[in-house]
Amino acid sequence: MQDALNIAIIAIIAIPAAYAILMLLDFISGLRHFVKPVHASTPSVDECIPTLIELPCPLPPEPTLQVDPWLMAPDEIKTSTTPAPIPTLPVLRLLPPAREQPTTAPHPKRGRPAKKVQAQVQTAAPKRRGRPRKAA
């Protein structure tokens, strides 16, 4: 029983660790693949060293010069014969002007119904509102 538990614990630790290592190695190989084309464009010193079999040294391609269009004469500038289409802008549609509504006399406000005043019966002690005071 102990052996099965030890194997399970080792598997629980080893599987995520192996997965993390594989991810790290894949990331490093991706970086090497990303950086590799930069170095491949220039010939290395090892490629140009003469050996027993003479191989031509690879030379970088010659850059092509393009003429600056701002310095060209207007007759030399090539333009397209079809003009670019002008995009249509959305039209803002306004609402019609508001009609004046007929004014009517304002309704009188309905107030609260008047309270009926009841005759208060006088007692010996006036009624006190609120909490009674604590005796000190």
- For residue 76, what are its two tokens? 């030399």
pLDDT digit string, tens, across residues 75-117: 766 666 677 778 787 888 888 888 888 777 666 667 676 666 6
* Residue 90 located in a structural domain: no
User: Which residue is listed with tokens 């391609």?
Assistant: 61
* Residue 7 located in a structural domain: yes
pLDDT at 7: 94
Is residue 121 pLDDT above 70, yes or no? no
pLDDT digit string, tens, across residues 12-39: 999 999 999 999 999 998 888 777 655 5
Instruction: Calculate ∠ Cα 84-85-89, nearest 5°.
Output: 135
pLDDT digit string, tens, across residues 46-81: 555 555 566 666 777 787 887 787 887 777 666 666
* Residue 42 located in a structural domain: yes
* CA trace torsion 67, 72, 75, 78 (10° rounding): 40
* Residue 75 located in a structural domain: no
pLDDT at 55: 62
Count CA atoms closer than 13 A to 21's CA, side-chain side.
6
* Residue 82 located in a structural domain: no
Per the structure, the count of domains in the chain is: 1
The domain of 30 spans: 2-48
The pTM score is 0.27
* Residue 43 located in a structural domain: yes
* Residue 106 located in a structural domain: no
* Residue 103 located in a structural domain: no
